[in-house]
Amino acid sequence: MSAFPHRHLLGIEGLTPPEVTALLDRSESYVEQNRRADKKKSVLRGRTVINLFFEASTRTRTSFELAGKRLGGDVINMSVSTSAIRKGETVLDTAMTLNAMHPDVLVVRHPESGAVKLLSEKVNCCVINAGDGSHEHPTQALLDALTIRRRLGRLEGLEVAICGDIVHSRVARSNIHLLAIMGARVRLVAPHTLIPAEAERLGVEVFHDMHEGLKGCDIVMMLRLQTERMQGNFLPSIREYFHFFGLDYDKMANAKPEALIMHPGPMNRGVEIDSVVADDYSRSVIHEQVEMGVAVRMACLELLSANLVEAPQHNI
Ligand code: CP
């Protein structure tokens, strides 16, 4: 029986604590390997991974590419801007075209929530959701959890404040699910306009004051304003937003003295986080999150590929 008995990784919602733990434990084994001069393994030898990103990315796309290559797989980065999508081909036709070339894993990012799941129903290979709209970004939540677990030794019982543009954030949704599965408590801290309507149903506490929301917390996770997903006015001004919701030392003083500062990136310095705080490596683990991203994506590629039967079935 596989430690992660799923064909795809489309989200964190619905995973069990042992499944999350299995992914984190496997990721842990890759952290040291990635710090060695020789980073190569042959776990994915003969396997093909295609990165299919319909939205911009630095961290996720690069780390999936590194992860696949370090495991000995063949990795293709499909550039959407120079693909047949520019000639009117649909996302599903593109996916099925790639599928006909027998990839083993498709890593997909798409601006629409649910698009990656739809695509996964049309292909034979494994699909990993690299972020779909404001829905889920499962590997981000896993790398955040690995970072926290390595620093604080556990997830259970921690108080985690997720602050900023929650309503548009797939990172927030995946983290809310993962932290709940693993027994941490989540607070959302944001103006009313940036809190999703379903917040109460998610089993979190909601705060509209940063000083209150950060009191006694172990983790302060800051989020970028996702202006590309905003239709209409959500805030009076950036200046006012930074004053009330930007993370600085004054607001951080409410958290536990050893509390960690996290941010999935990309950061907008002076908007949701003060530059000095972001670069304070005694508290900020932002670069460590990026490092853990490669290890987590190696574990995901390995565990999902291990579930593949030797020859893909032609069922479409
Ligand atoms: N955190 C994250 O998803 O970053 P990228 O958009 O650079 O991949």
Confidence at 310, pLDDT banded by 50, 70, 90: low
Q: How far is the CA of 60 from the centre of ligand 1 (A)?
A: 5
Q: Which residue has the tokens 């985690």?
A: 160
On the question of pLDDT at 302 being above 70, the answer is: yes
| pLDDT tens digit sequence for 269-301 | 999 999 999 999 999 999 999 999 999 999 999
| pLDDT tens digit sequence for 84-129 | 888 889 999 999 999 999 999 999 999 999 999 999 999 999 999 9
Proportion of the chain above pLDDT 90, given as a percent: 87
d(CA 133, CA 126): 20
pTM of the model: 0.95
Atom of ligand 1 lying closest to residue 265 CA: 1
Determine the average pLDDT of the residues in 177-202: 95
Cβ–ligand 1 distance for 305 under 6 Å, the answer no
| The pLDDT of residue 237 | 85
| The pLDDT of residue 80 | 84
On the question of pLDDT at 316 being above 50, the answer is: no
Cβ–ligand 1 distance for 265 under 6 Å, the answer yes
Q: Are 108 and 127 in contact (CB under 8 A)?
A: yes
On the question of pLDDT at 315 being above 50, the answer is: no
d(CA 205, CA 195): 11
| pLDDT tens digit sequence for 206-238 | 999 999 999 999 999 999 998 888 777 777 788
Cβ–ligand 1 distance for 264 under 6 Å, the answer yes
Pocket-testing residue among 53, 55, 59, 147, ligand 1, by greatest number of atoms within 8 A of Cβ: 59
Cβ–ligand 1 distance for 111 under 6 Å, the answer no
Determine the average pLDDT of the residues in 67-77: 98
Q: How far is the CA of 314 from the centre of ligand 1 (A)?
A: 33
3-class SS letters over 66-85: HHHHHCCCEEEEEEHHHCHH
Pocket-testing residue among 54, 55, 58, 108, ligand 1, by greatest number of atoms within 8 A of Cβ: 58
| pLDDT tens digit sequence for 118-140 | 999 999 999 999 999 999 999 99
